[in-house]
Structure 1
Amino acid sequence: MRTTFDRIRHALSFEIIALFVVTPLGAWGFGLPLGDIGVIAVISATIATGWNYLYNLLFDHALLRIAGHVSKTFALRVLHAVVFEAGLLVVLLPFIAWYLGVSLIQAFLMDVSFAAFYLVYAFVFNWAYDVVFPIMQPSSPKTPEAEMQR
Structure 2
Amino acid sequence: MKKELGRAMDVPLRSLRERVLQTLLFEAGGLLLVAPLVAWAGDVRAAESLVLLVALSAAVMAWAAIYNTAFDLVEAHVARRVASARPHLLRVLHALGLEVSSVLATCPIIVWLTGLGWWQALAVDIALGLVYAAYGYAYHWLFDRLRPVQG
Category of TM-score, reference length = shorter chain:
0.7 to 0.9
What SS does the corresponding residue of 1:41 show, helix, strand or coil? helix
CA distance in 1, matches of 2:44, 2:125: 14
Spell out structure 1 runs of 4+ moving beyond 2 A. none
Equivalent residue, structure 2, for 1:55: 67
Question: Which structure 2 segments of 5+ residues have no match?
Answer: 1-12
Shift of 1:99: 1.4
Q: Counterpart of 1:134 in structure 2: which amino acid? A: P
Matches within 5 A, 1:18-37: 18-37=30-49
The TM-score with structure 1 as length reference comes to: 0.88
2:103 pairs, out of 67, 85, 89, with: 89
Equivalent residue, structure 2, for 1:129: 143
Equivalent residue, structure 2, for 1:11: 23
1:120 pairs, out of 134, 140, 144, with: 134
The TM-score with structure 2 as length reference comes to: 0.87
Per-residue displacement from partner, 1:91-127 (whole Å, max 9, x unpaired)? 1001101211111111111111111110100000000
CA distance in 1, matches of 2:124, 2:86: 30
The structure with the largest alpha-carbon Rg is: 1
Identity %, equivalent residues? 28
Between Structure 1 and Structure 2, how many residues are aligned? 137
CA distance in 1, matches of 2:93, 2:20: 22
RCO comparison, higher one (Cα < 8 Å, 6+): 2
Shift of 1:21: 1.2
Question: Which structure 1 segments of 5+ residues have no match?
Answer: 139-150
Instruction: Tell me the C-alpha RMSD between the 2 structures.
Output: 0.9
Q: Counterpart of 2:60 in structure 1: which amino acid? A: A
1:64 pairs, out of 73, 76, 80, with: 76
- Could you tell which deviates more after superposition, 43-52 or 11-20? 43-52
Shift of 1:39: 1.1
